[in-house]
Structure 1
């Protein structure tokens, strides 16, 4: 049986899509596996007027595909309570405290509390100050705060937000969720690099020509048009997911696998990011794009999406090359691209090795691909002698891709990250210094793009982005490995 942790979850934004789609199923899986036993409870809060019974039915609906039995699911949902809540109303926090204390006694939780802020960041400071002032923070157990992105819209706003939260909670009580850091294959990057001598010995600038990170989505902005038009792909994806992956791919080996040591090595990379060159000519290191109507006319362009400015210059695509100014990686580019309405949904890293030094063969580069989602696993592209006369080469692919069944049964990112919070393990969460340094890097790009107000490159929906993204990498004599 797994080690059971006692905890009371208080979820702000309990009626939202994230809670229904991700949080309740994740908590149920932890319950099924024994990480949560009978000594846990959940209080859901939001503005809607829901009863406990209705809330429990909503939870039952969200886990309907996962349940062992109706009885098991009903027992689980019985641990949930609902309180209609205005986050600015002090009286509501007094009511919340009364309910929390009551559930703490009822389920023997011993003061352990996890506050999950699944709401607009504009409320984070208000909520955390009320939690402290109205004594929802306990003295006898742990108190941890989970924060969803976006964490600010630039360095200044993120610092203001962080200062507000730090007035009530210490940094080691804060868990900033980046769900990419919960993905199995992203966590596997360090295992791959530091537990295989073959890989470890060749993971350097002498052996590696370039890294390529592709995070592509085939969907558009859906119902998020209003939010996305103020955000864009740079803030939505590069500042967090992409730069976190860059740090994992290029950091030095930590002295031990502890939060402090891993963060120290990641920060060394983020602090060494070379200032990006952003121009409107071919010398630029970052290009942007916006999806237009698809070639067949069936998929509408970004400017036609609901709640999007019909003259918007918001980028739905970013491609760039990132340089790390350290002795280990100087002049080795990390190419990145991410966007919406691209040809296929995929998250992957392609590590392109330099050709062999011998002139015996016309060999192609060896490529190691780390498949993050929807496929999970590794692929290694090697040169192989063609069968028959002569010494002609052909590529051969060694593949270790997990089966659909294995992927289906693997813990989902939110399940793993919530378990980390229960265990007090901050390794797979973004520290404030990481967030701040990432924002400072991204702000330089944003500032330049905001000064270019005449136009933005377009790409047909369901392609792999604008031509400028291909030119960016081809100017260096390289090509994108992944072609949809």
Structure 2
């Protein structure tokens, strides 16, 4: 059997019965904690409906909501209905909704109420009998990390975490996975003290995005990219997640957390690992994780953090034709807060492939546009047989993977301008998912929830990756915490503080404007 055949045989993302058909979850149910939050109503509930509408959930699928509300099951059904109507990706179909709604249950209670969890255990057992869920249940903790310990202990005490023979129980937790290395280790100890590691699914929704997964296909399915994906040809890599919104009503969560903990520690370092990792033996979860962990272990933090990091806060300004307030004027933000809304870092990876290639990571709120991208910027050609005037508008070749919102890939290269003279200018060749495929891309949470129900773990980071990411960020956060000067301000609608531009200018480079 050839290596390619072996890889196809063990690819967990492929249904062995038919390469064209997606996998369908077997008998199961989902218990959702935090059903009153924005994540549940805007993402999770619509994703569950979309999965059902696509025929990817079993007929007896059940959804149990748990919250401190005096709701009946009809009230809970109305909440889900409204969320689906407002945010579902696929069209609303009455017959799909009716079948799905038959499996809705609601359990009122608080996280520290043993009686509520005993009632939850009875509800789950009843669903096994009435809906045929077979003892297979996932517990989605869409709640603050401070409540993880209490909920996990209650799940263990009530017997909900323990599967019967031949069934499974899984737990899903959302970021943040701690606020530093010590708290991440403590959190991991709590969760994995109740559920075995293979039953713990840590959600990083960026890993469920189609374009992030396409990064693996781009690199390893095409001969044209991999030979140049190294320090011999790559000048530097920029990984950007820019948002055009402020913190909204999230001051209680965001103030004290900041852009680096909120985005760099998880999303951007995961994108860095996928961009820089070696080819895995297969797409099995353990093989993918092994390669990502090697990259994160090899990340080198610069000694001079004053020159290799930048941060700032958005000030008032104009965005989208509207005047907006600055971060310090946002409701709920502490006066004189030193929480950054923009963060940028320069990292290097001490491997043979990437030695000497800087990776620039940046994220910020109230920037010029909403965009997430990975830009692999190539070195200039060693010799240009043209006059200087012929190439004065020629930049560096680049391969840009657009993660959101316009998913696709752009390749920038030089081409002759039509005319009698030799003039070379940058042009782009563009691939967009929406134009190239008739199939619409599923939302990230659709993919991730289905993978939880299937028990497919490739897209979920294990605690080793989480801890390695904190080992990278903690020294940077410690350095920032010792700084007494006021954070640099940047105008809303711009592209960040001046210190971020200076970070790049020291290396003779500049940020891409997406």
> Scaled by the length of structure 2, what TM-score is found?
0.90
Secondary structure of 2:63 counterpart: strand
Q: Which residue is 1:286 aligned to?
A: 309
Does 2:251 match 1:225?
A: yes
Does 2:325 match 1:300?
A: yes
Question: 1:404: Cα distance to partner?
Answer: 7.5
Question: 1:330: Cα distance to partner?
Answer: 1.2
2: CA distance, partners of 1:187 / 1:150: 22
Q: Which residue is 1:460 aligned to?
A: 491
2: CA distance, partners of 1:9 / 1:206: 49
Q: Which residue is 1:114 aligned to?
A: 138
Matched positions, count? 480
2:314, 2:327 within 8 Å by CA — same for their partners in 1? Answer: yes
Does 2:57 match 1:48?
A: no
Give a deviation string over 1:46-77, Cα, whole Å, max 9, x none: 11111100111111111125444334313212
2: CA distance, partners of 1:250 / 1:418: 27
Q: Which residue is 2:16 aligned to?
A: none
Question: 1:409: Cα distance to partner?
Answer: 2.7
1: CA distance, partners of 2:357 / 2:297: 16
Question: 1:388: Cα distance to partner?
Answer: 2.1
Superposed, which structure 2 residues align to 1:31-430 within 5 Å? Answer: 31-64=52-85, 66-136=90-160, 137-140=162-165, 141-280=167-306, 284-294=307-317, 298-361=323-386, 362=391, 363-403=394-434, 409-430=440-461
2: CA distance, partners of 1:339 / 1:404: 29
1:370, 1:378 within 8 Å by CA — same for their partners in 2? Answer: yes
Give a deviation string over 1:197-238, Cα, whole Å, max 9, x none: 010111110111011111000100000012111200010000
Secondary structure of 1:403 counterpart: helix
Give a deviation string over 1:220-270, Cα, whole Å, max 9, x none: 000001211120001000000010000000000001111011100000000
Give a deviation string over 1:375-409, Cα, whole Å, max 9, x none: 01111111111222232211221111233796993
Q: Which residue is 1:29 aligned to?
A: 50
Cα distance change on mapping 1:201 and 1:232 into 2, 3 Å: same
2: CA distance, partners of 1:295 / 1:88: 45
2:342, 2:362 within 8 Å by CA — same for their partners in 1? Answer: yes
Q: Which residue is 2:479 aligned to?
A: 448
1:292, 1:458 within 8 Å by CA — same for their partners in 2? Answer: yes
Q: Which residue is 1:434 aligned to?
A: 465
1: CA distance, partners of 2:176 / 2:93: 37
2: CA distance, partners of 1:443 / 1:255: 31
Does 2:500 match 1:469?
A: yes
Secondary structure of 1:82 counterpart: strand
2: CA distance, partners of 1:409 / 1:198: 27
2:313, 2:487 within 8 Å by CA — same for their partners in 1? Answer: yes
2:25, 2:450 within 8 Å by CA — same for their partners in 1? Answer: no
Runs (5+) with no aligned partner, structure 1: none
2: CA distance, partners of 1:305 / 1:440: 31
> Scaled by the length of structure 1, what TM-score is found?
0.96
1: CA distance, partners of 2:140 / 2:97: 22
Give a deviation string over 1:173-194, Cα, whole Å, max 9, x none: 1000000101111111111011
2: CA distance, partners of 1:72 / 1:183: 25
1:4, 1:34 within 8 Å by CA — same for their partners in 2? Answer: no
1:5, 1:35 within 8 Å by CA — same for their partners in 2? Answer: no
Question: 1:167: Cα distance to partner?
Answer: 1.3
Question: 1:150: Cα distance to partner?
Answer: 0.9
2: CA distance, partners of 1:3 / 1:319: 41
Q: CA RMSD in A?
A: 1.7
Q: Which residue is 2:26 aligned to?
A: 5
1: CA distance, partners of 2:95 / 2:155: 34
1: CA distance, partners of 2:435 / 2:143: 33
2: CA distance, partners of 1:451 / 1:407: 53
Give a deviation string over 1:386-444, Cα, whole Å, max 9, x none: 22223221122111123379699310000000111111111111110000010111110
Secondary structure of 2:62 counterpart: strand
